[in-house]
């Protein structure tokens, strides 16, 4: 992809970084950008030896400041439905990647930007980050999954307050309520995110993938059904060389060398 493309993807071994690249528009999501993101995710699914994905925004001001309001302002109901379904399906593809996805939120994450971050496995925020779902102030509601993922992240009561009022959270408050996992100085955000990615890469890749699959699948199931899925996935690990290498390395007091790492 060229530097003018709305989505840039770079690779550092098994770590892929996906950058929303519309800094002049604060990385706002329009149809072209969502389609580019969808294509990038599709390409990542086919990539061998992928271990972790980082999602961030170009520039110093915004992760993604929201959906493109100029593009939305003249939409018909049919247009709006198609746009919402494109955003939802794209974010579902991101959420469904078999490897962990970390959002490195380097500035404004509002509306569709907050929804994009919520579709990632966890969120690291810079000291400049701002989060919110301010759609009601525009006479609409979140359309890319925010009404559902935000409540699963921070609880239904707080999600209702944030969505009904359009309130914006700074990074420390976002950390306090559990929206983000950590807050880092702005200049250190990407380095800290890469540290987390490398920690993931030090673990068994099949075990990490299985853990993600079980956690996603079990999120909306009754506890008894969810932990049954966990037990089944746990048992399958004992049929794989990865378990023998991991436990053998532990008993031998050496670093594990997992296949594909």
pLDDT of residue 94: 98
pLDDT of 1 higher than 60: no
pLDDT confidence bin for 257, thresholds 50/70/90? very high
Question: How many percent of the chain have pLDDT more than 90?
Answer: 96
Radius of gyration of the chain measured on its C-alpha atoms: 19
The average pLDDT across 211-218 equals: 96
The average pLDDT across 9-25 equals: 97
pTM for the full model?
Answer: 0.95
Q: Which residues contact 215 (CB under 8 A, 6 or more apart)?
A: none
pLDDT of residue 2: 56
pLDDT of residue 261: 60
pLDDT of residue 24: 95
pLDDT of residue 259: 83
Which residues have a catalytic role annotated? 115, 135
What are 149-189's pLDDT values in tens digits? Answer: 999 999 999 999 999 999 999 999 999 999 999 999 999 99
pLDDT of residue 260: 65
- Report CA-CA distances (Å) from 188 to 26, 27, 40, 179: 21, 21, 26, 20
pLDDT of 11 higher than 90: yes
- Report CA-CA distances (Å) from 18 to 62, 132, 174, 228: 14, 22, 23, 34
What are 50-84's pLDDT values in tens digits? Answer: 999 999 999 999 999 999 999 999 999 999 999 99
Question: Within a 10 A sphere around the Cβ of 38, how many other Cβ atoms?
Answer: 18
- CA distance linking residue 117 with residue 95, whole number of Å: 10
pLDDT confidence bin for 3, thresholds 50/70/90? confident
The average pLDDT across 27-37 equals: 97
Structural domains in the chain, CATH included, are 7-201 (3.90.226.10), 205-252 (1.10.12.10)
């Amino acid at each position: 992809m060229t530097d003018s493309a709305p989505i840039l993807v770079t690779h550092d071994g098994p770590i892929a970084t996906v950058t929303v690249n519309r800094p002049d528009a604060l990385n706002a999501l329009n149809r072209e950008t969502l389609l580019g993101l969808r294509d990038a995710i599709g390409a990542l699914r086919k990539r061998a030896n992928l271990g972790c994905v980082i999602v961030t925004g170009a520039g110093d001001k915004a992760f993604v400041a929201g959906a493109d309001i100029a593009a939305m302002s003249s939409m018909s109901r049919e247009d709006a439905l198609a746009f919402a379904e494109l955003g939802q399906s794209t974010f579902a593809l991101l959420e469904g990647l078999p490897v962990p996805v970390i959002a490195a939120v380097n500035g404004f994450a509002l509306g569709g930007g907050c929804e994009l971050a919520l579709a990632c496995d966890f969120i690291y925020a810079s000291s400049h980050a701002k989060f919110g779902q301010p759609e009601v102030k525009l006479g609409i509601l979140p359309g890319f999954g925010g009404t559902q993922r935000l409540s699963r992240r921070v609880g239904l009561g707080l999600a209702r307050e944030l969505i009904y009022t359009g309130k914006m959270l700074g990074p420390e408050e976002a950390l306090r309520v559990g929206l983000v996992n950590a807050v880092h100085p702005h200049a250190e955000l990407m380095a800290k995110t890469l540290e987390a990615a490398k920690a993931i890469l030090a673990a068994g890749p099949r075990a990490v993938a299985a853990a993600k699959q079980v956690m996603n699948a079990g999120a909306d199931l009754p506890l008894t059904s969810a932990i049954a899925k966990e037990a089944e996935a746990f048992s399958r690990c004992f049929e794989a060389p990865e378990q023998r290498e991991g436990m053998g390395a532990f008993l031998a007091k050496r670093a594990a060398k997992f296949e594909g790492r």
